[in-house]
Structure 1
């Protein structure tokens, strides 16, 4: 069975974006980029909630015309070539979305996980991650904590309604400033 991997950047005060939705604060140094690239190598499908999707689709289709950053140059072709699934009740889709899932999150995602193929990567966001966490569908959490306090925005796991017990798998300082920790869900009763 395929895993869902959640990869997210957060501030030290626990926000995934700023008070006005800003996402200009994460710094992708070479080590953090390499970590992200290693996650990309494990997956063949990218998962997005609508707010993150709209940010992604506004940049990645033509990213190389806007930035020559090495991470951008590596990720843009991967993004375009990957299967991309958007979760939204109201979004109708676009030329870049492979599929839009509107309802029955539990059975739709369970079916995705049961398909043959590589793992699935949920990138950023908070609401979709909280919903999938509450349903017990996320297998790994990879959290990059950046040395910035945003003072507001959407909280990591905003809207989650259940206690989440995790086991730390690895934690490391990358690029001398970002702490990346990977977790998996703790076994029941543990």
Structure 2
């Protein structure tokens, strides 16, 4: 059985992106990128909301990667090797391999996907993650806290929902980013 892991870069004040939708403050350096590579290497299926998928699908193309560091090229291959499910009622088709569209988030289908999976799953996109949290599907949170306060924007974690967590791991990176990994305790 696979665990469903919510993983995100977040500002110190808890936002995925600022009030203008920017997240340039969370672009990883090589050390942080290598961390994400290792994390993603263990993911068999990624669940995305439409906007997160549209952001991530750049990893399907090679045209921009030739001048990027090896760690970025490595990530592209890891991303391509992962199955992807995009939850969208408006996206007409996907433009990446190993990707399918689901028109609505079905908690029971995700539960079955976890039960049948031989590897962990990730969930990306704030709106989609909130649904998974509300249905008790998220097993772990992996957050990289960036040393910036953005003052508002899209929250990284659900509002109005209490979850008890157990710290499993932590790490400080040279650029000031802090990694926190928590298990969601069953209630």
After TM superposition, give the deviation of residue 134 of structure 1 in Å: 0.8
What does residue 8 of structure 1 align with?
8
Runs of 4 or more consecutive aligned structure 1 residues displaced over 4 Å after TM superposition: none
Cα distance in 1 between the residues matched to 2:110 and 2:77: 25
After TM superposition, give the deviation of residue 63 of structure 1 in Å: 5.0
Structure 1, unmatched stretches of 5+, are: none
What does residue 92 of structure 1 align with?
92
What does residue 61 of structure 1 align with?
60
Are 2:170 and 1:171 aligned? yes
Q: Is the Cα–Cα contact under 8 Å of residues 37 and 78 in structure 2 kept in the other structure?
A: no
Q: Is the Cα–Cα contact under 8 Å of residues 60 and 79 in structure 1 kept in the other structure?
A: yes
Structure 2, unmatched stretches of 5+, are: none
Q: Is the Cα–Cα contact under 8 Å of residues 16 and 153 in structure 2 kept in the other structure?
A: yes
What does residue 134 of structure 1 align with?
134
- Equivalent positions of 1:31-46 (< 5 A) are 31-46=31-46
What does residue 182 of structure 1 align with?
181
Q: Is the Cα–Cα contact under 8 Å of residues 87 and 105 in structure 2 kept in the other structure?
A: no
Cα distance in 1 between the residues matched to 2:117 and 2:35: 25
What does residue 154 of structure 2 align with?
154
Are 2:22 and 1:19 aligned? no
Are 2:47 and 1:47 aligned? yes
- Equivalent positions of 1:72-91 (< 5 A) are 72-91=72-91
Aligned length: 185
Cα distance in 2 between the residues matched to 1:101 and 1:173: 37
- CA RMSD in angstroms, aligned pairs only: 1.8
Q: Is the Cα–Cα contact under 8 Å of residues 134 and 161 in structure 1 kept in the other structure?
A: no
After TM superposition, give the deviation of residue 132 of structure 1 in Å: 0.3
